Amino acid sequence: MEESAEVGTVTRPPQRADVMTGLEATSTGLVADDVASDRAAADPTRVSAGEIDRVLPAMRGLRARARATNLARADQLQSALDRAADGELDEAGRAQAVSVAHQLIGSAGTFGFSDASRRGAELKDFFSAREVDEDDVQTARIRLMALRTDLEGEGEQDELG
Amino acid sequence: MSAGDPMTIRRVLVVDDDDHIREVATLALEVVGGWQVITAESGEDAARLVLSERPDAVLMDVMMPGIDGPTVVERLRGDPLTAGIPVILLTAKNLRVDPRDYNRLQLAGTIAKPFDPMALAGQVAELLGWGDGR
């Protein structure tokens, strides 16, 4: 695996490699229910207003639950960070923190908390490092505070609301 | 049910250990994509469900407790009953699958996490060539 920086990137197999992102993605085809009329009337490369209306209410509920879960994950990272600061974070605890940060990155970003997701990635790097010094711990504390602030706020003011 | 028959509703297996990710992917693929979605929360469950349900495609997280995504895909490729089922890997945004792994795992593609829920169905359709019907 190698580094890449794009969010939401779609990658095809190498023989037809290209990149597309977000709503530029194409989703065409025959649809079995009333979504079909929405889609047929619209640009097939776009998600229709009807589809968004159907998805958003449920999406908002999911987002609220994901926020609570990710705040609990922030608590877990805080606990691990405190142990790391005291030199008491063992290998199992470190691996657990990496796993928690990994889950937070995907969940927070998917539900519109991109800053929290970014901070989670930085904290994953912190917990992945085998040796950290006092400055690293202090930086991680600041990043965790920023992560929590983003989760406690509104995140992106997009269609997920 | 056949992946090539446009008159049938396609079924997608979503595999992720995060409850909310499974739910949002299900919502997006069912409502926006118009497909049936089944879910698994682990690699072990995924391997079992692929055999019993024969989905038309699998959307699989890479990093999961127990058996990880690539290991499940290797198993699928080694079984004639599941070898041809297309798999899209959900990868961390800062990782890109090595081209050699694409060949070894015969991946249909990858989608980076975090993903845009409203764009997910379109991305899956594009990667699988499902623009001609479902």
Tens-place pLDDT, residues B4-30: 455 678 999 999 999 999 999 999 999
Q: For the segment A5-16, what is each residue's pLDDT rounded down to a tens digit? A: 344 677 776 653
pLDDT computed for residue A20 by the predictor: 30
pLDDT computed for residue A92 by the predictor: 96
Q: How confident is the model at residue A29 (pLDDT cuts 50, 70, 90)?
A: very low
Residues in B closer than 8 angstroms to A100, CB to CB, are none
Q: Tell whether B121 lies on the interface with A, counting CB pairs under 8 A.
A: yes
Question: Which of A19, A27, A51 would best serve as a mutation to test chain B binding (most B beta carbons within 10 A)?
Answer: A27
Please name which of A131, A83, A75 lies closest in space to residue A101, comparing C-alpha atoms: A75
Q: How confident is the model at residue A30 (pLDDT cuts 50, 70, 90)?
A: very low
- Burial (CB count within 10 angstroms: exposed 0-12, middle 13-18, buried 19+), residue A43: exposed
CA distance A82 to chain B (A): 24
pTM beyond 0.80, yes or no: no
**In terms of pLDDT, which residue wins out, A64 or A130?**
A64
Q: Tell whether B17 lies on the interface with A, counting CB pairs under 8 A.
A: yes
Q: For the segment A86-101, what is each residue's pLDDT rounded down to a tens digit? A: 999 999 999 999 999 9
> What three-state secondary structure class fits B13?
strand
DSSP-assigned beta bridge partners for residue A9: none
- CA B114 to each of CA A51, A107, B31, B95, B122: distance values in angstroms, whole numbers, following the listed order: 21, 7, 19, 12, 15
User: pLDDT at residue A25 above 80?
Assistant: no
For B88-104, what is the mean pLDDT? 78
d(CA B113, CA B30): 19
> Which of B4-18, B72-86, B103-117 is predicted least confidently?
B4-18
pLDDT computed for residue A23 by the predictor: 26
Asked if B53 contacts A73 with a C-beta cutoff of 8 angstroms, the reply is: no
User: pLDDT at residue B112 above 70?
Assistant: yes
For B75-83, what is the mean pLDDT? 95
Contact between chains at A23 and B118 (C-beta distance less than 8 A): yes
d(CA A67, CA A111): 8
**In terms of pLDDT, which residue wins out, A45 or A32?**
A45
pLDDT computed for residue B119 by the predictor: 92
> Which of A63-77, B11-25, B44-58, B81-95 is predicted least confidently?
B81-95
